[in-house]
Amino acid sequence: MTADHTLTVHDLELGYGERTVIDSLDLVLPPGRVTAIVGANACGKSTLLRSMSRLLRPRTGQVLLDGKQVHRLPAKELARTLGLLPQAPTAPEGITVSDLVGRGRNPHQGLLSRWSTEDDAAVAAALEATDTVELADRPVDELSGGQRQRVWIAMALAQQTDVLLLDEPTTYLDVSHQVEVLDLLTDLNRNRGTTIVMVLHDLNLAARYADHLVALTGGRLHAAGDPHQVLTEETVRAVFGLDCSVITDPVSGRPLMLPIGRHHMAVTRS
């Protein structure tokens, strides 16, 4: 089991240029758990994730990892504890899968130290965990969308961080690959105790896979906590401006959101 690391956000304000994206946000991300951040488009989900991994400097407030400001930590030291898979990473043309996964070892290598057997072992383990061993020698360009996403996750795994942030890891994937990726992340959380924080678009998948749900609206925190408490009809109305009905998912026992539009009403609601 890995050491538990707590990521906290304190009175955070973020923005690009004139625009403020996140405003006075306080947040504690429970260690060793899976957290999903949900919210409408442009509510600041990705911005928050970028700031938590040091990509964006806060205007005010702090992002703290175990009480230390992430923006003050040395880059490589942070990268050994906290990993990020951005939304649209680019693979260099022609790079093979195992080379790309090997790039995840960067924070563990010093200026002069050479590639070690430990690095090989980490890459091999990441390939096995993501079921990409058979792809190891193939160029990344040739892979399908689902395979490619698994390879990127393998790279993040090779980084061997205790906290892993993922920005919409399921976009562009069909439904079976979405489930596959989320199952993989759940394995990672259960078997290794890795703290997972991800931005997800699909509310129902978020409610199913997350232990902790964070709902943002307009750059502010609307609700955070257990999915049963967060995914309610009121929250969905407040965050998405959408009427819905929330029932219990017969498969997982988690809440399931059913949107209500202006048409196709089989049952009149009271």
Distance CA 210, CA 218 (A): 22
Whether 63 contacts 7, CB under 8 Å: yes
**Binding range to another protein, per CB under 8 A, among 137-145, 172-180, 218-226, 246-254:** 137-145
Out of 9, 64, 70, 85, which residue is the one contacting another protein (CB under 8 A)?
A: 85
Distance CA 30, CA 179 (A): 23
Compose the 56-75 pattern: x for residues touching another protein by CB under 8 A, - for all others. Answer: -------------------x
**Would you count residue 18 as binding another protein (CB under 8 A)?**
no
Q: How many residues bind another protein (CB under 8 A)?
A: 66
Q: Which 146-205 positions form the footprint of another protein (CB under 8 A)?
A: 156-157, 159-160, 162, 165, 187-188, 191-192
Distance CA 84, CA 159 (A): 10
Q: Which is nearer to another protein, 57 or 264 (CB)?
A: 57
**Would you count residue 142 as binding another protein (CB under 8 A)?**
no
**Binding range to another protein, per CB under 8 A, among 64-72, 79-87, 205-213, 245-253:** 79-87
Q: Would you give the DSSP letter of residue 211?
A: S
What minimum distance in Å lies between the beta carbon of 36 and another protein? 19
What minimum distance in Å lies between the beta carbon of 88 and another protein? 7
Compose the 99-128 pattern: x for residues touching another protein by CB under 8 A, - for all others. Answer: xx-xxx-xx-x-x---x-xx-xxxxxx-xx
What minimum distance in Å lies between the beta carbon of 98 and another protein? 5
**Binding range to another protein, per CB under 8 A, among 76-84, 198-206, 208-216, 243-251:** 76-84
Q: Residue 103: exposed, middle, or buried by beta-carbon count in 10 A (0-12, 13-18, 19+)?
A: middle
**Would you count residue 53 as binding another protein (CB under 8 A)?**
yes
Q: Would you give the DSSP letter of residue 232?
A: S
Q: Is the dihedral of CA 145, 151, 156, 162 positive or negative?
A: positive
Instruction: Extract the tokens encoding 98.
Output: 């195992």
What minimum distance in Å lies between the beta carbon of 203 and another protein? 25
The alpha carbon of 96 is separated from its chain's Cα centroid by a whole number of angstroms, namely 25
User: 127-131: long-range contacts (C-beta < 8 A, 24 or more apart)?
Assistant: 127/97, 127/98, 127/101, 127/154, 129/154, 129/157, 129/184, 129/187, 129/188, 130/154, 130/157, 130/184
In the chain, alpha helices (H): 45-52, 75-81, 97-102, 117-129, 145-158, 175-192, 203-209, 227-230, 233-240
172: left (phi over 0), alpha (psi -120 to 50) or beta: left
Q: What is the contact surface with another protein in residues (CB under 8 A)?
A: 2-3, 16-17, 50, 53-55, 75-80, 82-96, 98-100, 102-104, 106-107, 109, 111, 115, 117-118, 120-125, 127-129, 133, 136-137, 139, 141, 156-157, 159-160, 162, 165, 187-188, 191-192
